[in-house]
Structure 1
Amino acid sequence: MADVLRVGVIGAGAIARGAHLVNYQKCGERVEVAAVADTVKETAEECAKRFSIPRVFTRYEEMLEKVELDAVSVCTPNKFHAPVTMAALAAGCHVLCEKPPAMTAEEAERMAQAAEKAGKILTYGFHYRHAPEVEALKRFVDAGELGEIYAARVHALRRRGIPGWGVFTNKELQGGGPLIDIGVHMLDTALYLMGYPEPEVVLGSTYQKLGNRKGVGVMGDWDWKNFSVEDMARGMIRFKNGASLILESAFAANLDPLEEMNVTLMGDEGGADLFPLKIYQEKHDTLVNITPAHLPEKGSYELEIERFVDSCLTGIPPLSTPDQGVVLQRLIHAFYQSAETGEAVKLDR
């Protein structure tokens, strides 16, 4: 294995700068960010100047052809995740692709096949898996402290949190709204803690009630006249092992908190809420709540990048796998399909 990982970044926007590049820098001499590509030349050049990146491209294909790279971060809008990732894998690069995996389940399957064919690592940017609360709860779950987890609840809700930047409200480029943007984070986290059970049936509903009209925004002013995604998604998954999960995700909803990102798990030996972490059990004829007195403070994005680098340099399997990406993308697709048809979607494999 190489001692230094040569990395290229495709897409030079906010997530590349605030999550990927800043944390590649923290890896010190283990990482060399060799190139950045963005369709907007000025964006790529400004990013390169800020992070001292020597090579700049407006076409990622040219970057992959002209620069010898070991790994790539894919930080583009969702529409381009699949083609960019598969091109990078074909060029012999390991890939960290931002969430969601793709626009469709078929794309996610092709990405998984491409990674297997190339013999390269493909992992996804589900940084919440690396959060200290998630890591602590996973240890409790793996030790059997919650027993059989048969029910879960996922919340990814904002009161008026429609992003006023980027392409988050453009269905053609994103594939959807809060479900595929923030809901996918909490859904993946819940599935990860539950052991990624095999889904059987999905029933979903989506709404566009607030995003397509002018209103107060706490994340900037959004283009409400061209708002083409849902502003709320709700639904339920039943798994083949009998467990069930209820999901609610919204960019805008008339709720009390400005934002709530949380996962609730219920098992036959205990339950838990994730943010903040509380574990609920019955011990010695007493109902008890367990809360951590201390959790590590290293950020989840920092750990995500650090562990991706470790995987690339040492061969350690990544925390998020291509197969899980396929399952997750099938669920997202099923939610939207159920909302469109008004019928439950049965998932067969």
Structure 2
Amino acid sequence: MTDVLRIGMIGAGGIARDAHLTNYQKCGDRVEIVAVADVVKETAEACAEMFSIPRVFTDYQEMLEQVELDAVSVCTPNKFHAPATIAALKAGCHVLCEKPPAMTAEEADEMAQAAEEAGKILTYGFHYRHAPEVEVLKRFVDAGELGDVYASRVHALRRRGIPGWGVFTNKELQGGGPLIDIGVHMLDTALYLMSYPEPELVLGSTYQKLGNRKGVGVMGEWDWENFSIEDMARGMIRFQNGATLILETAFAANVDQLQEMNVTLMGDEGGADLFPLTIYQEKHETLVNLTPAHLPDINYHEREIQRFVDSCLTGTPPLSTPRQGVLLQRLINAFYQSAETGEPVKLS
């Protein structure tokens, strides 16, 4: 077991710089960032200069062959998650791959198999799992405070929050829109709180009503003329244990708030809203609301990176596992399949 984790970056865009590299640097002498690869040479060079990274590549395969690495962050567009992750695992690296796991469930399964065969850690960038609210609510759920959680609601909604940068509106590179980008965060969080129950049926609908026309944007001006993704997705999951989950996610919708990211749980002994955390119960013939008096102010990405480094250095299991990634990708793909066919998709 190494004392210093030698890190390589695959992808040098905004998420690599702002969420990964900035927080790797906070790990001090436990981490050495030794190489970065990006298909755009200028992007890789600018990133290397910003973070004092000694080796620069435009081909991650060359980086994996020429540089001795212990771990890799994969921060590419979604289309390249699977090949980059599998290549890094086969090269003997632990991998932190940004969300979503992949473009298809088959790719996610290949990634999980590669991690198992290599005996290396593979985890995903679901940074909301590291939120104090999630950690507290998870303890309450696991202790039975909510009883049988039989219903959940997931919101990941923006009023006019279509990203005006990157490839977020390119279906070929991303696989979809808000469902696979922000919806996947809250969906994963809900499933994590519910201990990832096995799904039985998915019914979904997608819409393209606002993104393909010029309009006001609060996250920059997007390319509305080449908008190839959904701007809203809605649907339901029924699980084998009888529980159900309702999902609503949008980059652009005519709603009140500019952004809402939330999970609601309902059980037979209590319920909860996640952000802000409030637990609803009936105690001593009284309906009561329970709220934390204090929660630590924590950067979710910072804690995610710290825990990934800990897992790599100590062998402790990561919070997000490859097999959970496979199940989550199956659900995402089932939503899109149902939306395309107009029929529910059976998963068991």
Query: Which residue of 2 is the match for residue 339 of structure 1?
Result: 339
Distance in 1 between residues matched to 2:132 and 2:55, nearest whole Å:
35
Amino acid at match of 2:219: M
Amino acid at match of 2:289: N
Query: Which residue of 2 is the match for residue 64 of structure 1?
Result: 64
Alignment of 1:89 onto 2:89: yes
Distance in 1 between residues matched to 2:52 and 2:145, nearest whole Å:
47
Distance in 2 between residues matched to 1:305 and 1:257, nearest whole Å:
30
Query: Which residue of 2 is the match for residue 146 of structure 1?
Result: 146
Aligned length: 348
In the TM superposition, what is the alpha-carbon distance from 1:298 to its structure 2 partner? 2.0
Query: Which residue of 2 is the match for residue 188 of structure 1?
Result: 188
Query: Which residue of 2 is the match for residue 77 of structure 1?
Result: 77
In the TM superposition, what is the alpha-carbon distance from 1:297 to its structure 2 partner? 1.3
Distance in 2 between residues matched to 1:112 and 1:58, nearest whole Å:
26
Within 5 Å, give how 1:31-180 maps onto structure 2. 31-180=31-180
Write out per-residue CA displacement over residues 150-202 of structure 1, whole angstroms, 9 at most, x where no aligned residue: 00000000000000000000000000000000000000000000000000000
Distance in 2 between residues matched to 1:320 and 1:148, nearest whole Å:
23
Instruction: Extract unaligned runs of 5+ from structure 1.
Output: none
Distance in 2 between residues matched to 1:193 and 1:82, nearest whole Å:
26
Amino acid at match of 1:148: D
Superposed CA RMSD in Å reads: 0.4
Distance in 2 between residues matched to 1:189 and 1:176, nearest whole Å:
19
SS of the equivalent of 1:293 reads: coil
Query: Which residue of 1 is the match for residue 277 of structure 2?
Result: 277
Distance in 1 between residues matched to 2:119 and 2:271, nearest whole Å:
39
Q: Percent of aligned pairs with the same residue?
A: 85
In the TM superposition, what is the alpha-carbon distance from 1:17 to its structure 2 partner? 0.5
Query: Which residue of 2 is the match for residue 202 of structure 1?
Result: 202
Distance in 2 between residues matched to 1:294 and 1:23, nearest whole Å:
24
Query: Which residue of 2 is the match for residue 321 of structure 1?
Result: 321
In the TM superposition, what is the alpha-carbon distance from 1:143 to its structure 2 partner? 1.0
In the TM superposition, what is the alpha-carbon distance from 1:142 to its structure 2 partner? 1.1
Distance in 1 between residues matched to 2:270 and 2:201, nearest whole Å:
25
Distance in 1 between residues matched to 2:278 and 2:182, nearest whole Å:
22
SS of the equivalent of 1:88 reads: helix
Task: Show structure 1 runs of 4+ deviating over 4 A.
Answer: none
Write out per-residue CA displacement over residues 280-329 of structure 1, whole angstroms, 9 at most, x where no aligned residue: 00001110001111111121101100000000000000000000000000
Write out per-residue CA displacement over residues 49-79 of structure 1, whole angstroms, 9 at most, x where no aligned residue: 1111111111000100000000000000000
Amino acid at match of 1:230: E
Within 5 Å, give how 1:220-299 maps onto structure 2. 220-299=220-299
Query: Which residue of 2 is the match for residue 11 of structure 1?
Result: 11
Amino acid at match of 2:203: L
Distance in 2 between residues matched to 1:201 and 1:167, nearest whole Å:
31
In the TM superposition, what is the alpha-carbon distance from 1:134 to its structure 2 partner? 0.4
Distance in 2 between residues matched to 1:255 and 1:82, nearest whole Å:
35
Distance in 2 between residues matched to 1:58 and 1:293, nearest whole Å:
49
Question: TM-score under structure 1 normalisation?
Answer: 0.99
Distance in 2 between residues matched to 1:3 and 1:290, nearest whole Å:
43
